[in-house]
Structure 1
Amino acid sequence: MIEIKKILVPYDFTENAAKVIPHVISLAQKYDATVYFMHVVEDITRWGFGSYVPHLPLDSFKKEALEGARQAMEQFCSEALRSCTSVQKILSVGDPDAEILKTIEQEGIDLVVMATHGRKGLEHTIFGSVAENVLRRSTAPVLTINPYTLKK
């Protein structure tokens, strides 16, 4: 029998991502699993602004972004995930794909549940798809949910 004791939920605080939460709660309750609620603050320094862009106070930006994400995570978990018996919060900075994949390995995740955003064309080419990259490279099963197909 498959044991699901650790469920990772990469979350970007969008409306689409929120739509998968009822599925996460249902799975966590059914399997008595711990929910690893994760948010990655993207490290904008990796985009290499170059010398033609005025200097940005990146350290203060990163600090404010982390604090805002921490507050949003606390509020969201206390409201939306209150019915889960065990929730671990993970907040990191970096490339979302890499951070999610690293967490899967480090925490021994049994299942990843994430929303797709349905980007197409140029938008998909420019921004890529975190869900697609995680799905292709994850050592744990990944359940992707298309939020546009869920009933309201």
Structure 2
Amino acid sequence: MEAVAGIGLLETAFVWKERHYFVQTLDIMKKILVPIDFSEHSEYALQVASKIAKQHGAGIILLHMIGISDSVLANSEIAEEAEAKYFLKLAKEKIKEFTKREYLKEVPVEAIIQNYKDFEEVNNVAREQHCDLVVMGSHGTSGFSELFVGSNTEKVVRSSELPVIVIKGEHEDFKIAKMVLACDLGKESIPVYTKAKAFADLFSASLEVVYVNTAGANFMGYDDVEKRMESFKKALGQEVKVNFYNHHSVERGILNYCAEQGADLLVIPTHGRKGLAHFVVGSLAENVSNHAKMPVMTIKL
């Protein structure tokens, strides 16, 4: 197997031999998958992943997708091979440069280069490599409800069976002491809470739940609020801290609550195929002018 600057480089296609599920109790983190496109945003994600890896003695898997076009693949075998080798060489050189970063010292790193064009393949790699977490950068700047929509990050979030932490900016002093899970307190939110709690325990962080109560058709009175909260706790089988936050917009309410509480990580459930436009509570309100600059962890329902 060819090596790049002391980093194992896997270039073969993967065969899905067994299913790898995220267990409800996460006692140790072994591998973190970081998809990279060599942009500054993917480096922000790699920096955060390195901090998490050092904290928990985990390794990092770098995944770069070359995405050679169909027109290249349609050429003769000789031309195809030459073109593939060219792009592979460029990718290796860039990966070498990335892995020389000071913050990656003492972190076990492997690099995987694949000719994938569909970012949903990231989930396959994560499962094949038995990763526990995906950390990925995002260029999203158009508001919370459109944070990932139409981007490669959205495709990863939509298809990933593992929790994904999305990083939008540089975090020199990254730490997770307080996590907030925004959900609708329905039965589907129970496994999401369990997974979020496993990560909170691993990070030695607190975890609280917030339900944003909006005006209009989705508004709930005090009695309904109490019933929903008690049903959630009963289904969960344990006492949890649940907060209700009144706001005219679900998205604004979530972001305002996190800012007021000084949350380090926002956790939101996703519906997979429906994308992030359908997460959390009921129907979405107007687009948010504020941007979610804080790290966001998504967990698939």
Partner of 1:117: 139
* Separation in structure 2 between the aligned mates of residue 136 and residue 146 of structure 1, nearest angstrom: 17
Alignment of 1:73-88 (within 5 A): 73-80=95-102, 82-88=104-110
User: Residues of 2 paired with 1:132 and 1:13: CA distance?
Assistant: 18
1:48/1:63 Cα in 2 relative to 1: closer, same or farther (>3 Å)?
Answer: closer
What residue in structure 2 maps to residue 8 of structure 1? 33
CA distance in 1: counterparts of 2:168 and 2:157, whole angstroms: 14
Report the secondary structure of 1:131's partner residue: helix
Structure 2: segments with no counterpart, 5+ residues: 1-24, 171-292, 295-301
Please give the per-residue CA displacement for 1:20-64, whole angstroms capped at 9, x wherever unaligned.
232111100011001001111012117999xxxxxxx54432221
Aligned partner of 1:73: which letter?
I
What is the CA–CA distance in structure 1 between the aligned matches of 2:71 and 2:154, rounded to whole Å? Answer: 21
**C-alpha distance in structure 1 between counterparts of 2:82 and 2:141, whole Å:** 31
In 1, Cα distance between equivalents of 2:64 and 2:37: 6
Give unmatched runs, 5+ long, in structure 1: 50-56
Any residues of structure 2 matched to 1:69-148 within 5 Å, and which? 69-80=91-102, 82-118=104-140, 128-147=150-169
Structure 1 length-normalised TM: 0.77
Which of 127-136 and 14-23 deviates more? 127-136
Q: 1:119 to 1:29 in 2, by over 3 A?
A: same
Is 1:63 paired with 2:85? yes
SS of 2:166's partner is: strand
Q: Which structure has the highest helix share of the two? A: 1
Distance 1:140 1:71, change over 3 A: same
Share of identical aligned residues, percent? 25
CA distance 1:139–1:59, shift in 2 (3 Å): same
Asked if the contact 1:7/1:35 (under 8 Å) is kept, the reply is yes
* TM-score normalised over the length of structure 2: 0.41
Select the residue among 22, 25, 39 that pairs with 2:47: 22
Structure 1 stretches of 4+ moved >6 Å: 46-49
Aligned length in residues = 138
Say if 1:6 and 1:69 are closer, same or farther in 2 by CA, change over 3 A. same
For the 8 Å contact 1:28–1:84, the answer to whether it is kept is no
Structure 2 equivalent of residue 38 of structure 1: 63
Q: Does 95-104 or 64-73 show the bigger shift? A: 95-104
Q: CA offsets, 1:103-128, max 9 Å, x none?
A: 011111100000012276xxx9xx93
Aligned to 1:94, the other structure's residue is in SS state coil
Which one-letter code corresponds to 1:89 in the other structure?
A
State the alpha-carbon separation in 2 of the partners of residues 98 and 146 from structure 1. Answer: 20
Do the aligned partners of residues 66 and 131 (structure 1) sit closer, same or farther apart at CA in structure 2, a change above 3 Å counting?
same
Partner secondary structure for residue 29 of structure 1: helix
Q: Pick closer, same or farther for the CA change 1:113–1:20 going to 2, 3 Å.
A: same
Letter aligned with residue 158 of structure 2: R
Higher relative contact order (CA 8 A, sep 6+): 1
Question: Alpha-carbon deviation of 1:7?
Answer: 0.1
Amino acid at match of 1:140: L
Query: Cα RMSD over matched residues?
Result: 2.8
3-state SS of 1:27 partner: helix
